[in-house]
Amino acid sequence: MSKIIASRVNIMISNMDTSIDFYTNKLGLKLLNQYGNHYAEIQAPDLLIGLHQKNHKTVVGNNISIGFGVKEFDTMIINLREKGVDLTIEEDGWIRLAYFFDLDQNQLLLAENKD
């Protein structure tokens, strides 16, 4: 059996430039590679995010989300709101969550465990 050596989450986007701007400038992640308007790789801690240009086969749905574990939850919320990101905060027992969407309505979330 072969060994898996890398993993990524691929999401479909409508505009490469604005999506790269969102993930790098608003979320502070790093652009690793960009192949024109077809595909880009964004590095998050322990996660590679592939951005793919939408096409006629793309199905819109809410069956995937990308979660980011964070420290300094409140500071992250303030910083994202200052950058125009709309967040919905939820406190659920032992965890604090902030839900938001990228420019193509892909759901993202921040999570911080309560101490």
Rg of the chain (C-alpha set): 15
Look at residue 2 and tell me if it is in a domain.
Answer: no
The predicted structure's pLDDT at residue 58: 73
Which residues in the chain come in under a pLDDT of 50?
none
Within a domain: residue 29? yes
Count structural domains, the chain.
1
> What pLDDT is recorded for position 81?
96
Helix, strand, or coil (residue 69): strand
Assess if residue 103 is contained within a domain: yes
pLDDT of residue 55: 78
pLDDT for 57: 76
Contacting residues for 99 by C-beta, under 8 A, at least 6 apart: 87, 88, 90, 107, 108, 109
pLDDT of 30 reads 98
List the structure tokens of 97: 């969550």
**Can you give the CATH number for the domain in which 35 is found?**
3.10.180.10
Instruction: Please tell me the predicted confidence (pLDDT) of residue 6.
Output: 73
Residue 1: inside a domain:
no
Provide the residue range defining the domain that includes 48.
8-55+64-113
